Structure 1
Amino acid sequence: MLTYLLLIGIGMLAGLSGSLVGLGGGFIVVPALAFLFPELSPAQLAGTSMTMLLFNSISSTYVYSRQKRIDYSAALRFAAAAIPGSIIGALLSTMVTGRLFFISFGIFLILVSLLLLFKPTRPIAWPLRPTAQRSFIDRSGVQFDYAYHMPTGIVISFLVGFLASLFGVGGGSLMIPTMTLLLAFPPHIAVATSMLQIFLSAIVSTGTHAVLGNIDWMMVLFLAPGALIGGQLGARLARRLPGPLLLKILAVFLIVVAVRLMTNGG
C-alpha cells in the first residue's frame, strides 16, 4: 500500500511541477523512481516514465486543440522527425549501463537548468531565412502571425525525440525554447504545438519501450492518475504564483537532483 501511495505522490508532484512551469514530469519521475526503486534498470526508468507522460499529455493536447492554438502543420512535421529519434533512443536505453545513464541524465538536467536560469527574453537573431509562414486565429479571436526556418525545427526535433525517449522525459524543456528563441513561434503557440508533437512521438516511443519490455505497467497505473490530479492543481496554482520565481526554484532543485544522481546513481 505504501508503495502505491508513493507512486501516486510522485505522479502528483510531476504533474504539479509540469503544470506550474510548463515542463514534462519526467524530470521528477525518473530521479524519484531511481532513488526509491533502485532495482529498476535505466531502460525501465525511461520506459515507465515515458508511458506516464504519454497518458498525461492526452488531456493537455485535447485542451490546446480546443483552444485552436496548435500549429498542426509544424507539429506533424516536427513529430515525423522526432519519431525516428524516439525509436533510436528507446533501443539505446537498453544498452546504457546504470552509471552511464545517471551521469548522462545528470548532465542533461544541468543543461536544462542553466537554460531555465539564463533563458534570453527575446528571440535570437537566426541567420537562416524563414521557409514557412503561418497566420491563424485562435478560439478567443487572437491572431498569430509568424515565420520560421523549417529545417532547423526538423533537425532539433529529431534530437529532442532521441533524448526524450532515452531518458524518459517529455522534451518540452528543449523544444519550447527552440521554437520561441530560434524559430520565432509565439509562446502560447509553441507550448501547444510542442505538446502535440511530444504526444505523437511518445506514442511510438512508448510502443517501442513496450515491445522491449521496458515498462512497469503497475507503476504506470498509479503514476498516471496522480499526474492528472497534480496537473489540475498546478493549473490553478499557476495563476497565483510568480512564474519566473518558480522557474528559478525548479532549476536549482534540478541541479541538486542532477548532482545527487551523478554521485550516487548506478
Structure 2
Amino acid sequence: MESLLLILVGMLAAISGAIAGLGGGFIIVPVLAFMYTIPVSNISGTSMAVLFVSAISSTLAYARQKRIDYRSGLAFSIAMVPGSVLGAWTTGVVGSRVFFIALGLFLMLMAVVINFKPTRSRGGFLRPTVSRAITDASGLKHSYSFNMWFGATVAFFVGFISSLFGIGGGSVMVPTMILFLAFPPHIATATSMFSILLSSLVGTVSHVALGHVMWGTFIWLAIGALVGGQIGAKIASKIPAKVIIRILSVCLFIVAVRLMFKG
C-alpha cells in the first residue's frame, strides 16, 4: 500500500507541477514530512531527485507542443546552478522547525502573488533587453520582451530555494516570468519546466553526493512522476491560465498552513 501511495503522490505532484510549471515538490515535501520521521535534508534531497524525473517527462511533452523558450530557459538555468549547489549544502544546517515555518510562509506568499496581474509599466531594472517570438504547435504566435538581467538574478535565488526546500523553483520563477517579464502564461510554464530540468540535475547530483536521497522512496515516486509529467503537460495545453492560477493558489495556501502548524 505504501508503494502504491507513493506512486499516486508522484503522479499527482507531476501533474499539478507540470500544469503551472511549479515542479510538484510543494506536494511531495509535505507528504514525505507527514509520512516519515526523517531529517530535512533527506526530504529535500529525495524530492529534488523526483523533481528531476518529473521535469524530464514534462519538458518532453512541452517540446512537442513547441512552447519552450529555449534561449531564455537555458540562461535562467545557468543562473540557477550556483544557487542549487548552495541550497543543497544549506539543508544540512537548517533546523526542522525553521524549515517548515519558512517553507510555509514562502508558499503562502506565492499563493497570493500568483493572483496578481502582470505589470504594465516596465522601466528601470525591468526595462526590456531582449525580445522573443515563438509559434507553438497549434500555430499560435507569442511575442514578448523582458529584462534578461532581472530574470537571471531572480533565477539564482530560485535555484537556492529549489534545492533548499526541494520544491522546484517554479513557485517563484513562473510568477516572476508572468508578472515582471511579460511571458505569456503557457510559455512561462513550459520554459520554467525546461529551466527546472537543467537546474534540478545539478541540485540532485549535489544531494546524491551528500547522501540525502532515499532511493527506495524515490523509485516509487519517480514512477508516478514519469506518467504524471506527460498528463500534466497535456492538461495544461487545454486549461485557461486563469483557472490554473486559481486552483494552484488554493493548493499552495492549504499546504502552507499545514506545514506551518506541523509538529
TM-score (norm 1): 0.88
> How far apart in 2 are the matches of 1:234 and 1:66?
14
Alpha carbons of structure 1 residues 32 and 178: separation in structure 2 relative to 1, 3 Å:
same
1:168 aligns with 2:166: yes
The farther-off stretch of 11-20 and 201-210 is: 11-20
Match of 1:119 in 2: 116
- Choose the corresponding residue for 1:186, options 177, 184, 189: 184
Match of 1:226 in 2: 224
Instruction: State the 1:17 CA deviation.
Output: 2.4
Match of 1:12 in 2: 11
The farther-off stretch of 232-241 and 183-192 is: 232-241
Matches within 5 A, 1:90-109: 90-109=88-107
Alpha carbons of structure 1 residues 230 and 70: separation in structure 2 relative to 1, 3 Å:
closer
8 A contact 1:125–1:182 mirrored in 2: no
> How far apart in 2 are the matches of 1:231 and 1:91?
28
SS at match of 2:142: strand
8 A contact 1:81–1:154 mirrored in 2: yes
The farther-off stretch of 49-58 and 228-237 is: 228-237
SS at match of 1:113: helix
Match of 2:26 in 1: 27
> How far apart in 1 are the matches of 2:255 and 2:6?
18
8 A contact 2:13–2:225 mirrored in 1: yes
Instruction: State the 1:220 CA deviation.
Output: 1.0
8 A contact 2:75–2:152 mirrored in 1: yes
TM-score (norm 2): 0.89
Structure 1, unmatched stretches of 5+, are: none
Structure 2, unmatched stretches of 5+, are: none
SS at match of 2:131: strand
> How far apart in 1 are the matches of 2:133 and 2:243?
33
SS at match of 2:261: helix
Match of 1:257 in 2: 255
Q: Aligned AA for 1:23?
A: L
8 A contact 1:102–1:261 mirrored in 2: yes
Matches within 5 A, 1:31-180: 31-38=30-37, 40-116=38-114, 118-120=115-117, 122-128=118-124, 129-180=127-178
Matches within 5 A, 1:210-221: 210-221=208-219
> How far apart in 1 are the matches of 2:192 and 2:128?
19
Alpha carbons of structure 1 residues 244 and 182: separation in structure 2 relative to 1, 3 Å:
closer
Match of 2:193 in 1: 195
Superposed CA offset, 1:19-70 (max 9, x none): 44543210100000000112x2111111100100101111221222233322
Alpha carbons of structure 1 residues 236 and 63: separation in structure 2 relative to 1, 3 Å:
closer
> How far apart in 1 are the matches of 2:231 and 2:130?
37
SS at match of 2:160: helix
8 A contact 2:79–2:155 mirrored in 1: yes
> How far apart in 2 are the matches of 1:81 and 1:108?
21
- The alignment yields a C-alpha RMSD, in angstroms, of 2.2
> How far apart in 2 are the matches of 1:15 and 1:162?
21
> How far apart in 1 are the matches of 2:146 and 2:20?
25
Give the paired residue count: 261
Q: Aligned AA for 2:172?
A: L
